[in-house]
Amino acid sequence: MLTAEQRTGYDRDGFIVLPGFKDAAQIAALRARAEAIVDAFDPNESRAIFTTRDQERASDAWFLGSDNTVRCFFEEEAFGADGQLRQPKALSINKIGHAMHDLDPVFSAFTRDPKLAQVARDLGLVQPQVYQSMYIFKQPGIGGEVRWHQDATFFDTDPISVTTFWFALEDATIDNGCLWAEPGGHRGPLRERFIRDGDAIRMEKLDATPWPDDSTAVPLEAAAGTLICFHGLLPHYSAPNRSPVSRHAFTLHATDAGTVYSARNWIQRGADLPVRGFD
Ligand code: FE2
């Protein structure tokens, strides 16, 4: 699927952009399914948790409980001072996560794509294990920033193997908060590690190398249907969306079964929900 030139580009830059990877029908099916999940979501289910006294622990619990399930998360700016949604629910959700690719037939069909399996192989994943999926809305006006980070922070393996598959479901532009990345930045060190210890999570600082800035980062604008694959060490970021249009995207994170998956990663799979690849 990938040419030798594309593979060389991936090794050099740490990412590759593949326009037209998914067609309009595949995108429409995923968008419709996401809309249905949000429609069925009762905000009180999570609001009850968020109104407990210990806000941070409560939000951690809602997050941690989404590891092997399907849950909706609100944008940080979704609620006004009165505690009510400022926009309709469908325009207030930040993302759906984190196991739709295994638990939902529509998301699973999008993920189990022979073309995708081939790209993963071409990028060096001998036996891919897809640990996480996220449907990201980047809502108009309130779509939140995702600060600079590396995905290997969340999926630690020895050696590092996590690879990200990022699908544009709408045109991603500088205006509506497209990805930014530092070409070649995947050759730098892992800066942080996200550690789960039971019901507690923390970020461990590993390296003081600064995050990129405008002088070295490039915007990865992408038309709907584009697949962007990137290396687990590639620093990337996306700006808030202050524009009137959303920027839906879908991401998958896969590691290689030939590496050692850390027992301290926040997502663990057992025999009840075995981790699978793209086949
Ligand atoms: Fe990321």
Question: What CA–CA distance (Å, rounded) separates 237 from 147?
Answer: 5
Query: Which residues 6+ apart lie within 8 Å of 24 measured at CB?
Result: 224, 225
User: Could you tell me the distance, in angstroms and rounded to a whole number, from the CA of residue 149 to the centre of ligand 1?
Assistant: 6
Which residues keep their CB under 5 angstroms from ion ligand 1?
Answer: 151
Tokens coding 179? 């990805």
User: Could you tell me the distance, in angstroms and rounded to a whole number, from the CA of residue 219 to the centre of ligand 1?
Assistant: 14
Single out the residue of 190, 122, 117 nearest to residue 156, CA to CA.
190
φ/ψ (deg, to 5) at 108: -65, -40
Question: What CA–CA distance (Å, rounded) separates 65 from 245?
Answer: 30
Q: What is the pLDDT of residue 45?
A: 77
Q: Are the beta carbons of 247 and 112 closer than 8 angstroms?
A: no
Question: What CA–CA distance (Å, rounded) separates 119 from 57?
Answer: 39
Tokens coding 91? 């325009």
User: Could you tell me the distance, in angstroms and rounded to a whole number, from the CA of residue 193 to the centre of ligand 1?
Assistant: 13
- At the topology level, CATH places domain 4-261 in Jelly Rolls (2.60.120)
User: Could you tell me the distance, in angstroms and rounded to a whole number, from the CA of residue 232 to the centre of ligand 1?
Assistant: 8
Tokens coding 219? 């915007």
Question: What CA–CA distance (Å, rounded) separates 259 from 235?
Answer: 22
Single out the residue of 194, 137, 138 nearest to residue 162, CA to CA.
194
- Hey, where are the domains in the chain? 4-261
User: Could you tell me the distance, in angstroms and rounded to a whole number, from the CA of residue 95 to the centre of ligand 1?
Assistant: 13
**Tens-digit pLDDT string for the chain (279 aa):** 899 999 999 999 999 999 999 999 999 999 999 999 999 999 877 765 555 556 677 788 889 999 999 999 998 888 888 888 899 999 999 999 999 999 999 999 999 999 999 999 999 999 999 999 999 999 999 999 999 999 999 999 999 999 999 999 999 999 999 999 999 999 999 999 999 999 899 999 999 999 999 899 999 999 999 999 999 999 999 999 999 999 999 999 999 999 999 999 999 999 999 999 999
User: Exposed (0-12), middle (13-18) or buried (19+): which is 185, by Cβ within 10 Å?
Assistant: buried
Q: What is the pLDDT of residue 41?
A: 94
User: Could you tell me the distance, in angstroms and rounded to a whole number, from the CA of residue 84 to the centre of ligand 1?
Assistant: 29
Q: What is the pLDDT of residue 76?
A: 84
Q: What is the pLDDT of residue 164?
A: 98
Q: What is the pLDDT of residue 5?
A: 97
User: Could you tell me the distance, in angstroms and rounded to a whole number, from the CA of residue 233 to the centre of ligand 1?
Assistant: 10
User: Could you tell me the distance, in angstroms and rounded to a whole number, from the CA of residue 106 to the centre of ligand 1?
Assistant: 23
3-state SS, the chain, equals: CCCHHHHHHHHHHCEEEECCCCCHHHHHHHHHHHHHHHHHCCHHHHHHHHCCCCHHHHHHHHHHCCCCCEEEEECCCCECCCCCECCCHHHCEEEEEECHHHHCHHHHHHHCCHHHHHHHHHCCCCCEEEEEEEEECCCCCCECCEEEECHHHCCCEECCCCEEEEEECCCECCCCCCEEECCCHHHCCCCEEEEEECCEEEEEECCCCCCCCCCCCEEECECCCCEEEEECCCCEEECCECCCCCCCEEEEEEEECCCEECCCCCCCCCCCCCCECCC
Question: What CA–CA distance (Å, rounded) separates 124 from 87?
Answer: 43
User: Could you tell me the distance, in angstroms and rounded to a whole number, from the CA of residue 82 to the centre of ligand 1?
Assistant: 32
User: Could you tell me the distance, in angstroms and rounded to a whole number, from the CA of residue 230 to the centre of ligand 1?
Assistant: 9
Q: What is the pLDDT of residue 53?
A: 55
User: Could you tell me the distance, in angstroms and rounded to a whole number, from the CA of residue 4 to the centre of ligand 1?
Assistant: 26
Q: What is the pLDDT of residue 50?
A: 52
> Which residue type sits at 224?
A
